Amino acid sequence: MKPIRIFFLFCITLSGIVSPCLLPAQCTSFTTKTAIYDTTVRGTGNDNFSFNMPLFNPSAGTLISVVIKTNVSVGYSFQAENTSNTSRSINIGVGRYDYLSGAALSNSNFAGNIQSTYGPYNLAASDGVSNSGSDYIANGPFSFLNHAIVLNDSITSSIANFLGSGTVHFDYFPSTYSSIPQNLTYNFSATDTVQFSVTYYYCNTSTLPTGIIDFSAVKESNAAIKLSWLTENESAGRTYEIEKSSNGKDFDSLAFISSEITADKNARYDYFYEIKNEDREKLFFRLKELNEDGTISYSEIRTVALNMETTNGMFLFPNPVSNNFNVHFTVQGNWQIDIFSADGVLQQRDFTANNNSANIFFRKRLAAGVYFLKATNLANQEISATSFVIE
């Protein structure tokens, strides 16, 4: 994977004034930046790939949108032979269908399709001899796609899945195919080069003045999250507004805390947030500092994962589950993953090889309720188990 590249993005208005693109209300900078991560793979036109790309670190700023793009080049060769008793003119259709899936994608239909037609090719009547004669044609390799954008999707409404300090996983399924007429013996081969990229569009929020020397958000139990921050050179008349977000972009106010002046002008503040039933997967917290002179600044964003259940070296998230979930093991290996309903009936079995994680999609609709996951390490038959809820 190539190193991160940072760009500044401006829009030109009709009056010729430079203004920021897609700048939401809580962004206080005058530029929208982009962070681009990309990687390049090569295959036979029909090889599946997996990509692990860095998540966006919320401390860098406010994430506005995520753009996922594939830049594809395909070389194509074919051999066609007429099996009809009459001469004919034929056209060959070549297509490319690419599909992307991943737990972070709220829309499972990340797909693109490109088609081209080649010909006409004049073929004589079949002479009964394979791979030769005027009834046979071999063509290629030629360039079917040359840096074509097959996937180009922008995500703006479900960006919380792209925030954090780890990686986000994608499975990429390309398909190079042909459309041919009847009475034709046909073979083809292909090579492809795919540049896969994830672009984060974000803007900077103002960082706090030197007054705050530490800010943390920690899930202390299934019921509460503790927010703590330390200050030095505390000022009278300062107010801290605690803000919470479920997507890392849109923040709501939780509470206001006035500054406390001590003899050494250092202070510690604590706030406990009671986890609500509607809170899911991740929560994002930040401090809005309101000073007596009217100036406002923001802290870095702190992320708290809610639905990560750990049992016997395995954790499952999210929980509750809709149509898929992720399971992560503390050791890499070959795993058999079984899903049981509450009455003990096996509902689904999956396998993952030489991995420490898996993204499990339900192959049939499962009724709402409690289910159990049993994971068996096939190397030593050790078993890990946990439960989850389908809403």
The pLDDT, as a whole number, for residue 166 is: 81
Given a cut of 80, whether residue 327 has pLDDT beyond it is yes
Tens-digit pLDDT profile for residues 236-258:
888 999 999 988 778 899 999 99
Q: What average pLDDT does the chain have?
A: 81
Tens-digit pLDDT profile for residues 72-84:
999 999 999 999 9
- Binning pLDDT at 50, 70 and 90, where does residue 12 land? very low
Tens-digit pLDDT profile for residues 148-162:
999 988 887 778 888
More confident residue, 327 or 133: 133
More confident residue, 340 or 4: 340
The pLDDT, as a whole number, for residue 383 is: 75
Given a cut of 90, whether residue 194 has pLDDT beyond it is yes
Kindly list the domain boundaries of the chain, sorted by start residue. Answer: 5-203, 212-305, 309-390
- For the chain, the three-class secondary structure string (H helix, E strand, C coil) is CCCCEEEEEEEECCCCCEEECCCCCCCCCCCEEEEEEEEEEEECCCCCEEEEEECECHHHCEEEEEEEEEEEEEEEEEEEEECCCCCEEEEEEEEEEEEEECCCCCCCCEEEEEEEEEEEEEECCCCCCCCCCCCEEEEEEEEEEEEEEEEEEEECCCHHHHECCCEEEEEEEEEEEEECCCCEEEEEEEEEEEEEEEEEEEECCCCCCCCEEEEEEEECCCCEEEEEEEECCCCCCCEEEEEEECCCCCCEEEEEEECCCCCCCCEEEEEEEECCCCCCCEEEEEEEEECCCCCEEECCCEEEECCCEEECCEEEECCCECCEEEEEEEEEEEEEEEEEECCCCEEEEEEEEEEEEEEEECCCCCCCEEEEEEEEECCCCCEEEEEEEEC
More confident residue, 232 or 229: 229
- Domain 212-305 has what CATH class? mainly beta
Tens-digit pLDDT profile for residues 349-368:
988 887 777 888 898 888 88
The reply to whether 212-305 and 309-390 are identical in fold is: yes
Tens-digit pLDDT profile for residues 373-387:
888 888 877 777 777
The pLDDT, as a whole number, for residue 153 is: 86
The pLDDT, as a whole number, for residue 311 is: 46
The pLDDT, as a whole number, for residue 108 is: 53
Q: pTM above the 0.95 mark?
A: no
The pLDDT, as a whole number, for residue 2 is: 44
Given a cut of 90, whether residue 21 has pLDDT beyond it is no
Question: Is domain 309-390 in CATH 1.10.630.10, yes or no?
Answer: no
